[in-house]
């Protein structure tokens, strides 16, 4: 049903300079895997095997990572080092990758609109690799959202409660609860000031979008910070029809910040690496 997943990966990663001067932030490793690989694994876990990268200048290594490295494979063939490539080889076998380039950085909404050519006229997932999500022993966040989509058939954003003094970093929703973990969106604001926030429910980097979002994005004027915001387009979609907000099970690390990145690294080391799951 949903088979495509878009990864907007054109951002500069200024918070990690100088590490990101010549290397995409999505290639920074959490223990021994680049951030973007965790995202692609989550997409595959949810059954989304057509991976659509919206990249920019300086992001070629992302494409190289999801391709065969003949020289390296030849070098380590038959040695005990081959085991380290099993996981990524499996991903390359199971997924299909396509790429388009975002020439100008005009916001997440603009990035998603740029990816239209790779997605076409079908519902699709969006994963922001900066938000690293785990749900140990259960469905991944995107897999949970695909299940919800089967029931609601409209765009869905993943949300979590955040402290009031953090809401200015996120898109914020207001909505009517239709069940404990699901809201019908009535309002959405991109990075509101604390006193203007309609709730403490923050959007995190997982979306399922229906393709009518593209026409809405084409008509969406620049919003917060002069950028075309997916949050603004989703509010329009909610007013025209329906958008749902899903409170996911699991935990999220903001790997776009140094604190979140270190927390994620410690978590992966303790919970995955030491248990032989990385
Ligand atoms: C983007 C979205 C924001 C969302 C966030 C989740 O912001 O615009 O609505 O809450 O991702 O990570 P960014 O963090 O890219 O500025």
| pLDDT interval class at 235 (50, 70, 90) | very high
Which domain range does residue 217 map to?
A: 4-273
The pLDDT of residue 82 is 87
Which atom of ligand 1 is nearest the CA belonging to 256? 14
Q: Distance, CA 162 to ligand 1 centroid (Å)?
A: 13
The pLDDT of residue 175 is 97
Q: Is residue 245 part of a domain?
A: yes
Q: Distance, CA 144 to ligand 1 centroid (Å)?
A: 20
Q: Is residue 169 part of a domain?
A: yes
| pLDDT interval class at 263 (50, 70, 90) | very high
Q: Is residue 57 part of a domain?
A: yes
| pLDDT interval class at 241 (50, 70, 90) | very high
The pLDDT of residue 158 is 98
**Structural domain count, the chain:** 1
Q: Is residue 14 part of a domain?
A: yes
Ligand 1 pocket check for 167: Cβ under 6 Å:
no
| pLDDT tens figures, 192-217 | 999 999 999 999 999 999 999 999 99
Q: Is residue 278 part of a domain?
A: no
The 3-state DSSP class for residue 205 equals strand
- Mean pLDDT, to the nearest integer, of 3-13? 94
CA 218 to chain centre: 21
Dump the DSSP string for 208-248.
Answer: EE-TTHHHHHHHPPP-GGGS--HHHHHHHHHHHS-EEEEE-
pLDDT at 16 over 90: yes
pLDDT at 70 over 90: no
**What proportion of the chain, given as a percentage, has pLDDT over 70?**
100
Task: List residues bridging with 211 in a β-sheet.
Answer: none
The pLDDT of residue 73 is 86
The pLDDT of residue 276 is 87
| pLDDT interval class at 77 (50, 70, 90) | confident
Residues in Cβ contact with 173 at an 8 Å cutoff, skipping those fewer than 6 apart:
157, 159, 183, 185, 187, 188, 198, 199, 201, 203, 245
CATH code for the domain of 247: 3.90.550.10
The pLDDT of residue 86 is 85
Return the structure tokens found at 134: 């785990």
Q: What is the mean pLDDT of the chain?
A: 95
| pLDDT interval class at 262 (50, 70, 90) | very high
Q: Is residue 231 part of a domain?
A: yes
Q: Distance, CA 69 to ligand 1 centroid (Å)?
A: 33
The pLDDT of residue 29 is 96
| pLDDT tens figures, 160-195 | 999 999 999 999 999 999 999 999 999 999 999 999
The pLDDT of residue 98 is 97
Which atom of ligand 1 is nearest the CA belonging to 224? 8
**What proportion of the chain, given as a percentage, has pLDDT over 90?**
89
Q: Distance, CA 205 to ligand 1 centroid (Å)?
A: 6
Crossing angle of the two packed helices 141-152 and 35-45, in degrees rounded to 10: 40
Ligand 1 pocket check for 232: Cβ under 6 Å:
no
Q: Distance, CA 224 to ligand 1 centroid (Å)?
A: 11
Ligand 1 pocket check for 231: Cβ under 6 Å:
yes
The pLDDT of residue 12 is 87
Q: Is residue 71 part of a domain?
A: yes
- Mean pLDDT, to the nearest integer, of 246-257? 96
| pLDDT interval class at 277 (50, 70, 90) | confident
Q: Is residue 263 part of a domain?
A: yes
């Amino acid at each position: 049903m949903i088979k495509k997943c878009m990864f907007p990966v054109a951002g500069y990663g200024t918070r990690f300079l100088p590490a990101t001067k010549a290397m995409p932030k999505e290639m920074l490793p959490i223990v021994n895997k680049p951030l973007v690989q965790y995202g692609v694994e989550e997409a595959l876990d949810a059954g989304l095997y057509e991976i659509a990268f919206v990249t920019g200048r300086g992001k070629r290594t992302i494409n190289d990572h999801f391709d065969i490295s003949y020289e390296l494979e030849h070098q380590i063939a038959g040695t005990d080092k081959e085991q380290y490539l099993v996981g990524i080889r499996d991903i390359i076998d199971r997924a299909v990758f396509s790429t388009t380039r975002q020439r100008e950085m005009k916001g997440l909404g603009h990035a998603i609109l740029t990816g239209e050519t790779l997605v076409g006229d079908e519902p699709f997932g969006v994963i922001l690799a900066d938000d690293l999500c785990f749900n140990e022993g259960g469905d991944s966040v995107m897999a949970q959202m695909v299940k919800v989509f089967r029931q609601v058939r409209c765009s869905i954003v993943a949300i979590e409660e955040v402290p009031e003094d953090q809401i200015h970093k996120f898109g914020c929703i207001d909505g009517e609860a239709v069940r404990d973990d699901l809201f019908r969106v009535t309002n959405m604001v991109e990075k509101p000031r604390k006193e203007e926030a309609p709730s403490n429910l923050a959007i995190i980097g997982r979306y399922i979008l229906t393709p009518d979002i593209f026409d809405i994005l084409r008509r969406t004027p620049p919003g917060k910070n002069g950028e075309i915001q997916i949050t603004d387009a989703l509010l329009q979609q909610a007013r025209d029809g329906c958008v749902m907000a899903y409170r996911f099970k699991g935990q999220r690390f903001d790997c776009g910040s140094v604190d979140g990145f270190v927390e994620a690294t410690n978590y992966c080391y303790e919970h995955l690496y030491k248990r032989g799951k990385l």
